Chains A and B, each alone.
Chain A
Amino acid sequence: MPLTDYEIVVGLEVHAELSTRTKMFCSCPNRFGAEPNTQVCPVCLGLPGALPVLNREAVVRAARAGLALHCPIAAFNKFDRKQYFYPDLDKAYQISQFDLPVCGKGHLEADVETSTGTVRRRFGITRIHMEEDAGKLLHSGAAQIGGSESSLVDYNRAGVPLIEIVSEPDLRGPEDAEAYLAALKEILRYLGVSDCNMEEGSLRCDANISVHRPGTPFGTRVEVKNMNSFKNVGKAIVSEAQRQVALIESGGVVTMETRAWDAERSETRAMRGKEEAHDYRYFPEPDLVPLELDEAWVEGVRRGLPELPEAKRRRLEAEHGLPAYDAQVLTESAELADYFEAVVRAGAQPKAASNWIMGELLAALKRLGLGVAEAPVAPGALAAMLKLLDSGVISGKIAKTVFEEMVSGGGDPAAIVERMGLTQVTDSGAIDGFARAAMEAHPAVVAEYRGGKTAGLGFLVGQVMKLSKGKANPALVNEALKRLL
């Protein structure tokens, strides 16, 4: 199938749940994973007479996302009712923004992995609007409501604030889509706008996909829903493009429709056609007043923006002389980068700090299933340990022991060294003693060395370290053995 004769054109619609403390229009907690229908009130249950009141924090977060994506923030915006019937939609309308969204056109840059290497590309953002989430249906007896024996509704998610970020049809394939989503996720997490957890549904993505021969107008687009990971977005794009190309090649015509991605079968299947498309009957939400965001307010949000990952990477490389790889790893989350900088501020060498964070710290966190914020070793403590290592009080090997002790709650590194008697032995008399003992125990190795086979030195150093329980300074041991041999 000549997919290569065609160009794939993709636009993405990303829904991100905002990580506010409370819901969009009421004071219920915005919390994932609670017992069903415990985070609800008359407002988010849509009880008769209950009214929405806009969450200020949600607007701040939406504006943050907009500013980070280079979008203008609308001075005047309003909310509209998007009307459709579904049991998880308590009011039978979703409060959304139709024609006057909070953010206008912007763009996002991302590093795309291509066959010829990494390319930095810019993708247009069409708009960002605010809306509320719906509840969640739990079916028994079938995967969807049709055919289920019974379906339960959990309204904990009803009214959770969302932003929908709509891209221009600027993406040209699965690589672009995955890079776009990764860059977007990183920015939203850095901004504290959203957790972007696809498994928990706090990030969701729909794709508008079409194909055309380069130089001809864009083809008819098909909306594909229901992808639950970045990888699946990429797979769905390829699969849907192949379906469209096959259709065109066999003389068929692509029709505008909505399809669902079936991850198990790795294919898209028809959901509803154009003629079944909803008429959402949008109209201005009369229960909310229009929202005016003046320049001073927008500037306040702009001033509160944290440093974004790209800028942070460049700064870490420049300020601390870190290799690009280290800067990339350390900026994977704002917390990790903050941790690194705190360790450096506390007096550690940047590269040593980076090595220990990327190696021992991340390994320990992974093992314990903890986030950086809950790291059992405070940045100051790690810096103190690195200083002990740097000044020769402990060896690199001992440092690992000390670090493990710190991870298991051992406290201050100097105290651990003291308590466990781990101070490096630098006394030449003591080291000479260990060296002599090792030589006496292994006369054959000594004889070989003296006969010219110097490879035995490493073995003897190991023996001395063993005798000293790892505390002897390796450089001094080397020196003593060479002298005595």
Chain B
Amino acid sequence: MEPHELTLTQASGMLASREASSVELTRAALGRVEAADPRVRAFVTVDAEGALAAAKDADARRGRGEAGPLLGVPVAIKDNLSTRGLRTTCSSRMLEPYVPPFDATAVARLKAAGAVVLGKTNLDEFAFGSSTENSAFGPTHNPWDLARVPGGSSGGSAAAVAAGFGFGALGSDTGGSIRQPAALCGVVGLKPTYGRVSRYGLVAFASSLDQVGPFGRTVADAAALSQAIDGHDPLDSTSAPRAVPDYAAALPRGVKGLKVGLPREYFVSGIAPEVAAAVRTAVESLAAMGAEVREVGLPHTEHCLSVYYLLATAEASSNLARFDGVRYGFRAPASGVVAQAMRTRAEGFGPEVKRRIMLGTYALSSGYYDAYYRRAQQVRTLIARDFEAAFREVDVVATPTSPTTAFRLGEKADDPLTMYLSDIFTISANLAGLPALSLPCGFDAAGLPIGLQLIGRAFEEPTLFAAGHAYESAHGWKDRRPAL
């Protein structure tokens, strides 16, 4: 097996048994990036020098007797997570020259665990999108079909893991930005419970919805990354001061007696028949392994999209206000400070960013706040209550991750509303703050991956890992690799 075909767990095993050094695995990963990334374009920045230095350091640590599942393992980081000394662009012209003086907590924790950062992956500008086409540096291509999108906004991270550019990656998920690209690229992605992972250093999109999470080739790989990044951070007031369970220990728990709910509102028109069929088959397979399946109702589902686009854009308009060219990043000089800020923002932001800033600014404007923002918050509470009610009956809710498999580049680029619909199944978990896992559950006739989403109770990531691991162990989906 080529090094780039390994899972993180396998690579970790080879490092532990000294079959391979971190420097060897890192060189192999960099070689794979050099060979295939010109076609995939998963990376915005490759840090070969930094990666090799970190790999040497990891090997030295192992030589001193240190161990750990991530020690020496090459990974990729979405380019909206701050990396000390390594530019963090958010795939925006606005931050093209910006080099943070600090690491995001999730990145710092990966580094502390010995992971080797290969570079920074492409995204929709400031994570605004579902296809990674809204990047100032050009789109990322889906490794399964280079004419198709990898999903988004963490499309670079999902494509990197699918293509074997490292053994795992970090992304961020505000409305599906980890799970939808994971589904479209045939990898595993987790949106953790809100508060499970520190947001410190994640360039904010919508603060009340954003979570940092892992991508892996397998559920075990994602769990290993979660183990390293999860837990309370005194630098993030919204991170939960709760102990982190042992995820590896939870993996073999199985699904016997697990109550799985199928929300009737999620299997409606607009969903590709092959996707619906694959998800139903996957749920039947869980039942065959001992799970109890029943239908549940999430009656406020139809409002998710409008609630999300009000709240997320409102928060985004505020979070992106600081990019004015005064302190860092891009500056378009003009006479007068207001003119300079206006030109900087006119030239520094792409069209989707401007669209969302305008929507959000409008929703918060005097006279509109009650009708839009406050009302959306109220409906958000109802959506969370739907899940509370459902979780009194079941342990996990199973849905398709995305209504379709990967679509063609440019297919939805001019139609924002259709594009927004690709997040229809993922948004509710962000609004309710719940953990949700996407994992491969088959391929369509065109050979494109299909994703199954499992949503759990708050802080019950172990249940999701156990169910996901049981399912993937019974099928061969995780062993398929794109021909690149």
Contact = CB atoms under 8 A, between A and B. Distances in A.
B202 A49 contact: yes
Contact of A48 (B208, B318, B322, B326): B322
A45 B235 CA distance: 15
Contact of B321 (A49, A53, A92, A287): A92
A112 B104 CA distance: 55
B420 interface: no
Nearest to B102: A42
Interface in A36-57: 42, 45-54
Contact of A91 (B88, B201, B238, B321): B321
B318 A87 contact: no
Given A48-B100, A51-B237, A52-B237, A145 B322 contact: no
B204 A87 contact: no
A146 B201 contact: no
Chain A interface bracket (under 10, 10 to 19, 20 to 34, 35 or more): 20 to 34
A45 B321 contact: no
Contacts of B199: 49, 51
A289 to B, nearest CB: 6
Contacts of A85: 321, 324, 338, 341
Nearest to B202: A49
A93 B321 contact: yes
Contacts of A47: 82, 100-102, 328
Interface stretch (A58-66, A126-134, A278-286, A324-332): A278-286
Interface string B237-270: 1100000000000000000000000000000000
B118 interface: no
Nearest to A145: B337
B234 interface: yes
A288 interface: yes
Interface stretch (B64-72, B365-373, B394-402, B421-429): B365-373
A50 B322 CA distance: 12
Interface in A284-300: 286-289
B236 interface: yes
Contacts of B237: 51-54, 287-289
B341 A93 contact: no
B144 interface: no
A283 B104 contact: no
Contacts of A349: none
A42 B104 contact: no
B276 to A, nearest CB: 35
B361 interface: yes
Contact of A281 (B95, B200, B206, B365): B365
A359 B326 CA distance: 54
Contact of B326 (A42, A153, A286): A153
Contacts of B207: 286-287
Given A45-B327, A49-B203, A283-B318, A87 B337 contact: yes
A153 B327 CA distance: 9
Interface in B118-156: none
B98 interface: yes
Nearest to B360: A281
Contact of A49 (B82, B238, B315): B82
Given A90-B327, A286-B207, A279 B365 contact: yes
Contacts of B202: 49
A281 B364 contact: yes
Contacts of B98: 48
22 contacts: A46-B327, A47-B328, A48-B88, A48-B90, A48-B203, A49-B82, A49-B104, A51-B200, A51-B237, A51-B238, A53-B236, A83-B318, A85-B324, A90-B327, A92-B318, A145-B337, A279-B366, A281-B366, A283-B315, A286-B208, A287-B204, A288-B237
Interface of B: 81-82, 88, 90, 95, 98, 100-102, 104, 199-204, 206-208, 234-238, 314-315, 318, 321-322, 324, 326-328, 336-338, 341, 361, 364-366, 369, 373
Given A47-B102, A153-B326, 8 more contacts: A48-B203, A49-B199, A51-B236, A90-B327, A145-B337, A153-B327, A281-B361, A287-B238
Which A-B residue pairs are the 10 nearest by beta carbons?
A: A92-B321, A286-B207, A281-B364, A286-B208, A48-B203, A49-B201, A279-B366, A49-B82, A92-B322, A91-B322
